[in-house]
Amino acid sequence: DVKVTQSSRYLVKRTGEKVFLECVQDMDHENMFWYRQDPGLGLRLIYFSYDVKMKEKGDIPEGYSVSREKKERFSLILESASTNQTSMYLCASSFPRRDDQPQHFGDGTRLSIL
Amino acid sequence: DAKTTQPNSMESNEEEPVHLPCNHSTISGTDYIHWYRQLPSQGPEYVIHGLTSNVNNRMASLAIAEDRKSSTLILHRATLRDAAVYYCSFMDSNYQLIWGAGTKLIIKP
């Protein structure tokens, strides 16, 4: 079974802090994704990556950056956390450029910015 | 804007079939339709996907309208463990999933 592991289930940080959310997958997937999930808004794509050192902006990239130094690891960075970034963050991975391949998700990190 | 629309919530009795509808009127002819579900405190879980023909797997069935502008996820015999939020989505030409807001399925014992 595909395993996508997010480093923390719950995280509490302060406004202005630099926050790192880590995601690791064990299926050698080229594609990796970061979403945020808010009540009533569903899943919104922040950034995605099709390969190592490659990144593409999703629908809501403002205030975020990403890093993909190794194929199995995709990090989401909040450069200066703000309260409106309090949310559930979900990481996913999939095989490359095939629209018949499902995305596999981690269990999420619930981030609170105080 | 490309999107999917689903009812906010649905209720069903345990051990009865459940039909979860989704409209995706902006879908193109080559976009696959994907369904996921999300149990409480977990990430979304893949359920099923299809292009044109109806599809079956161990979890559910997917019925796709002939014009592909809508689809229905069918749980043949719902159990309490099927209570979740069900998301209809499709993959656009950039291989990004376009998600709906989801349907919260409530199963009554």
pLDDT band at residue B60 under the 50/70/90 scheme: very high
Which pLDDT value is given to residue B97?
82
Contacts of A17 by beta carbon, 8 Å cutoff, 6+ apart: A78, A80, A81
Closest Cα in chain A to B86: A42
Residue B62 exposed, middle or buried by CB count within 10 Å (0-12, 13-18, 19+) = buried
What CA–CA distance (Å, rounded) separates B47 from A94? 15
Count of C-beta atoms within a 10 Å radius of residue A79: 12
CB pairs under 8 A between A and B: 50
What CA–CA distance (Å, rounded) separates B32 from B47? 13
pLDDT digits (tens, 9 = 90+) for B28-56: 878 889 999 999 889 999 999 998 889 99
pLDDT band at residue A99 under the 50/70/90 scheme: low
Q: Which residues of B touch A41 (CB under 8 A)?
A: 101
**Chain B contact present for A104, CB below 8 A:** yes
- Mean pLDDT, rounded, for A79-101: 89
Which pLDDT value is given to residue A1?
67
- Mean pLDDT, rounded, for A2-26: 94
**Chain A contact present for B49, CB below 8 A:** yes
pLDDT at B20 over 70: yes
Q: Which residues of A touch B32 (CB under 8 A)?
A: 99-100
pLDDT band at residue B98 under the 50/70/90 scheme: confident
CA A95 to chain centre: 16
Task: Please measure the distance between the N-terminal and C-terminal CA atoms of chain A and give it in whole angstroms.
Answer: 37
Q: Which residues pair with B98 in a beta bridge?
A: B90
Q: Which residues of A touch B96 (CB under 8 A)?
A: 45, 48, 58
Contacts with A, B 21-40, CB within 8 Å? 30-32, 34, 36
Residues B11, B30: contact at Cβ < 8 Å? no
Which pLDDT value is given to residue A73?
97
B26 against B44, higher pLDDT: B44
CA distances from B85 to A10, A41, A102, A110, A113 (A): 21, 13, 17, 18, 26
pLDDT digits (tens, 9 = 90+) for B71-90: 999 999 999 999 999 999 98
Determine whether the interchain pair A107/B41 forms a contact, defined as Cβ–Cβ distance below 8 Å. Answer: yes
Share of chain A above pLDDT 70, in %: 96
Q: Radius of gyration of chain B from Cα atoms?
A: 13
**Chain B contact present for A43, CB below 8 A:** yes
Q: Which residues of A touch B100 (CB under 8 A)?
A: 42
Determine whether the interchain pair A97/B49 forms a contact, defined as Cβ–Cβ distance below 8 Å. Answer: no
Can you point out the beta strands (E) in B6-92? 9-13, 18-23, 33-38, 45-50, 55-56, 61-64, 70-75, 84-91
pLDDT at A98 over 70: no
Best of A4, A29, A43, A93 to disrupt the B interface (most B CBs within 10 Å) is A43
Q: Which residues of A touch B102 (CB under 8 A)?
A: 42
What CA–CA distance (Å, rounded) separates B65 from B52? 8
